[in-house]
């Protein structure tokens, strides 16, 4: 399942070759593939900033798959913010950007041979019942199907967070 990016690249190459053979033109397939490749390059360029959160989380951005999760906590907002940053620093995730004022955190998984990586947006917000909610969103950087990596990211994060509460 983790071989998706490789298979996708191979599929693009095969389709490119087929279009080229049938049409006899080289500019047409190149033009078609400029859009997704350009989009991927753009996403990779802007992935490390919280400023582009709305781009990655916008439902109209159908090139990406997003998974939303919510978790409640009784720890205060500020303390939870520091705690989550500590958890990320000690986990497989990479801390990319933070905003203490809005209690927003951006982290991600690394790009490797099988995946472009995922961006993870964490938002801490107070509830009316004196608890705090953690909104966790994992999004792909390219591709409408994450091959369960979004779900695995959430499970891995929650597991690290729960473990860290044993002091």
Partner 1 sequence: MAIVVNLDVMLAKRKMLVKELSTIVGISVVNLSILKQSKAKAIRFSTLEAICAALDCQPGDILEFVEDPNS
In whole angstroms, how close is the CB of 1 to partner 1 at the nearest point?
33
Q: Which is nearer to partner 1, 25 or 82 (CB)?
A: 82
In whole angstroms, how close is the CB of 74 to partner 1 at the nearest point?
6
In whole angstroms, how close is the CB of 56 to partner 1 at the nearest point?
28
Binding site for partner 1 (CB under 8 A): 74-76, 79, 82-83, 86, 162, 164-167
Residue 12 CA to residue 117 CA, distance in Å, equals 19
CA 141 from centroid of its chain's CA atoms: 6
Degrees to nearest 5, angle at CA 51 with 155 and 56? 50
3 state SS of 37: helix
Q: Which is nearer to partner 1, 48 or 83 (CB)?
A: 83
Q: Which is nearer to partner 1, 59 or 166 (CB)?
A: 166
In whole angstroms, how close is the CB of 100 to partner 1 at the nearest point?
14
DSSP strand pairing (104-108 vs 132-140): unpaired
Q: Hey, what long-range contacts does 75-79 have (CB within 8 A, 24 or more apart)?
A: 75/132, 76/132, 77/103, 77/124, 77/125, 77/126, 77/132, 78/103
Q: Which is nearer to partner 1, 120 or 132 (CB)?
A: 132
């Amino acid at each position: 399942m983790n071989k998706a990016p490789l298979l996708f690249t191979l599929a693009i190459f095969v389709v490119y070759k087929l279009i080229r053979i049938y049409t006899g033109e080289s500019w047409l397939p190149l033009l078609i593939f400029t859009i997704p490749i350009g989009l991927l390059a753009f996403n990779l360029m802007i992935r490390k900033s919280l400023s582009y959160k709305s781009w990655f989380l916008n439902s109209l951005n159908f090139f990406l798959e997003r998974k939303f999760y919510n978790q409640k906590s009784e720890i205060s907002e500020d303390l939870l913010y520091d705690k989550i940053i500590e958890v990320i620093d000690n986990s497989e995730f990479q801390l990319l950007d933070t905003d203490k004022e809005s209690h927003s955190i951006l982290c991600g998984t690394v790009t490797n041979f099988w995946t472009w990586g995922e961006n993870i947006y964490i938002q801490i917000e107070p509830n009316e019942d004196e608890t705090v909610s953690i909104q966790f969103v994992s999004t792909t950087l390219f591709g409408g199907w994450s091959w369960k990596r979004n779900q695995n990211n959430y499970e891995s994060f929650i597991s690290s967070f729960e473990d860290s509460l044993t002091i």
